[in-house]
Structure 1
């Protein structure tokens, strides 16, 4: 009985193709693709979001199978079963990657401000202000920045800078005076 089963398996064209594939015959790769690509593609198509993704995954399954053909053991299972196992892993990887991409897109969307993009005039005002801020001495620039950009009170500016309250107020007042003069010269100061 055992000899009969071994002879039947040796006469099986699918088993012969699987053995040739495992041995590395390039013609066998074409035969395996022709024979089972429809099965793999149908599985991928049912599991994937788009036809293009299914086609790409199908191709990748056969590339992976060819690269790891030495791991295939025809005595442990069938070649179509092994190919579908590779396809299941590829599909799972694709779903995981899509979930990661979706999470990143959602996180980025949450970081984006809901406001409209600045107009050219607003951008120009920001550039003029940045240029005017650059003319302040470092203490004034820091004090003005802490007070107006960070929204700190005069007391908080003094503590943050490690200076007396009167010094912090002076830095802010003098810095604003320099900014006003500079912006008035440029014609950008509010009236």
Structure 2
């Protein structure tokens, strides 16, 4: 009968090792879960703080829209906000140019771009602007700057005479048929 007890002890030892492994894995997962919960809480608090700050800004800068909870739930089924309304904040970082506005109304990176274009002797390309605003002449930086240039054209800060060539905007008067 000794061999039966030995076999039971061997199986018990194997089961004990497996339990210890699973307990260690559970402890690791519990730690990761706690870290993820803390990160989620920090993001929630940050979102709420930013929403409060933007809501206090002038209406031209921040537009606040209330979205029904069902639309949010459809967008993100596992949302922590199910059954409640959320405030969606839209921020217009590059305002449309209006008479009397200076480049100081723009965020720093856009202001730098407008100043470089204004200082240039003629039309400039995105790849010429990138080093002048302190960025490395890499494809990603050039494309990002090109997107900003296009946004500045859309909002009336710059003109794009030929594709990819940017100049300071020639603002038209209200009497002009092509006014902005």
> For the superposition of Structure 1 and Structure 2, which TM-score range results when normalised by the shorter chain?
0.3 to 0.5
| Higher helix proportion | 1
If you compute each CA radius of gyration, which structure gives the higher value, 1 or 2?
Answer: 1
| Higher strand proportion | 2
